[in-house]
Structure 1
Amino acid sequence: MAGAAVAALLCALIGDVHAACQDATVTQELLHAGFHRELLVKVELGGGGEDAGGCTVAARIHLPPGVYVDPYELASLQRHNLTKAVLVPDAVDVEAPEYSATELLVLLYMDPDPRCSRCFRATLPLHGRYHRPAEDSEEASVVLKSPEVLLCCCDNRLSTECWTPAEVEAPCSGKPDGPCRWYSTTHKAVPEELILQVPVGLRQHSSLVCVLTLLATGLCSSLILAAVCKHGHFSE
């Protein structure tokens, strides 16, 4: 009887811990259309979010080769305090097509949402890469998986039942160098995956595109040569 009572007490305590440590909720939304988009990420911390006061909240996002973040654009936005993020790797080939590009890892720092004490949000500019021409579809699908929720706390200790240490090589946003530590938590995504549709060309149009490109190049070259011959000053 005593053993059964202890087991019941342990189950009740574990249930209370799990009830207090509710999963964080992550919502992703794509803004605008075409190749140049914005990814809006919203995070609502779970029941353990009350321990996160004074901590930095971030979303760790894995971007597939079909999209990229322009580091020059990101630097400009950060100078104007419009967003803050860390790229890995920090050197990005913005001209590479999808089939020769590599994945990117982005640590996107979140801003508190004034309408909700446990809510955070941030936007990230995304650009679609050129894909190979398709057979019968004018769009290619790029799957964006749900980001991971991270916290960095310098002055607070999070409950170990709700948060676990995470290996992240990035500074805490706005925090001085010191004993800061990143933590992660379980989360539920709404939806789990986001589909980005990128416009692509059709293979049956390849010949037409090549012919029009050659004609346009020849016409422009002829006009430039004619203008140089007519208005240019040549010396012997």
Structure 2
Amino acid sequence: MLLIKRMLVYILLFSIFACLSETHSTNNHDASNDCSFLEHVNSDVSLTLQKTGFHRELMTTVQFNNGFLGKLLLFYSWPKDIYVDPYQLVSLGEQRNWEMLLDSTIDLEMPAHKSSGFRTYLYPHLEELTAEQINLTMPIHGRYQKPSFNGNAFETVIIHPPDLLLRPVKNCIHSHKMESYTIVDAPCTANNSSTCQWIKVHYQKLTGPVTLQFPVGDASLIIPVSGGTLLVTVICCVVLSISAWRRQIM
């Protein structure tokens, strides 16, 4: 009888220690995967335009004040007046410190009024973010504008800053602390082989968009330009015909 009591006591003590150990392990797991680092994130993304004309360079500057282990993604929404050249991106090769994924096929010859906006996912080549800023420069190009009857000489195009998305090494997406954050589904890598859940970071200070202007043709000049072109063509044909006829006689 005494032996049975001792066995029951041992079993009870073992169960208590097992429960305490499991609770401690769970608490440690939650503490490491609760995305608490987001409370101290101070991020800023700004845009700067370089060069002039239809062929520009857009530099995106990312400032991040908190050490972070994981992946970073910049999500751009482009207006219909802008396009990126996929062949040019491939030719850049190792000159760029990022990879880009496009959500649709880009027609390089389509004018602005017949094209539509598109989106891109930009993946910087880095594993850890520090207080140092990250500069990412990409070539962009302007589409030709439809001639205007209103006398507008330029078309103003607005490019908004991209969304900053994070994917930590340790999964904390399902933590109860994520209720105040936005979860976004996006490709895991530039290969577009699978989709992952990313955390959209709220900027500490809102940076404005950048604007650029592209020249617009004057539609009111269509008739005189077309008439002048036709007149010059006729005159050249007549002159060439007379010259050929004279040479044939001689």
The normalised TM-score by structure 2 is 0.64
> Is the 1:153–1:181 contact (alpha carbons within 8 Å) kept by the matching residues of 2?
no
How many Å separate the matches in 2 of 1:222 and 1:56?
69
How many Å separate the matches in 2 of 1:43 and 1:88?
23
Aligned length: 199
Larger % of helix: which? 2
Does 2:201 match 1:185?
yes
Alignment partner of 1:106 out of 120, 125, 143: 120
> Is the 1:70–1:92 contact (alpha carbons within 8 Å) kept by the matching residues of 2?
yes
Cα offset, 1:128, TM superposition: 0.7
Larger radius of gyration: 2
Over aligned residue pairs, what C-alpha RMSD do you find? 3.7
> Is the 2:121–2:190 contact (alpha carbons within 8 Å) kept by the matching residues of 1?
no
How many Å separate the matches in 2 of 1:137 and 1:186?
38
Gaps of 5+ in 1: 1-16, 226-236
Counterpart residue number, 2:33: none
How many Å separate the matches in 2 of 1:93 and 1:61?
18
> Is the 1:146–1:189 contact (alpha carbons within 8 Å) kept by the matching residues of 2?
no
> Is the 1:57–1:120 contact (alpha carbons within 8 Å) kept by the matching residues of 2?
no
Corresponding letter in the other structure for 1:172: T
Deviation string for 1:74-93 (max 9, x for gaps)? 2222x33424211111x111
Counterpart residue number, 2:52: 33
The normalised TM-score by structure 1 is 0.68
Counterpart residue number, 2:64: 45
Corresponding letter in the other structure for 1:141: T
Alignment partner of 2:161 out of 146, 154, 157: 146
Corresponding letter in the other structure for 1:94: L
Deviation string for 1:165-204 (max 9, x for gaps)? 3210x23369xx8996422211256632211211111123
* Percent identity over paired residues: 26
Gaps of 5+ in 2: 1-35, 242-250
How many Å separate the matches in 2 of 1:30 and 1:223?
50
Alignment partner of 1:68 out of 83, 87, 103: 83
> Is the 1:62–1:147 contact (alpha carbons within 8 Å) kept by the matching residues of 2?
yes
Corresponding letter in the other structure for 2:48: E
Q: 5 Å matches for 1:1-236?
A: 20-45=39-64, 49-50=66-67, 52-53=68-69, 55-77=70-92, 79-82=93-96, 83-89=98-104, 91-111=105-125, 117-134=131-148, 135-154=150-169, 160=177, 164-168=182-186, 170-172=187-189, 181-187=197-203, 191-211=207-227, 213-214=229-230
Residues 19 and 151 (structure 1 numbering): CA distance in 2 closer, same or farther, change over 3 Å? Answer: closer
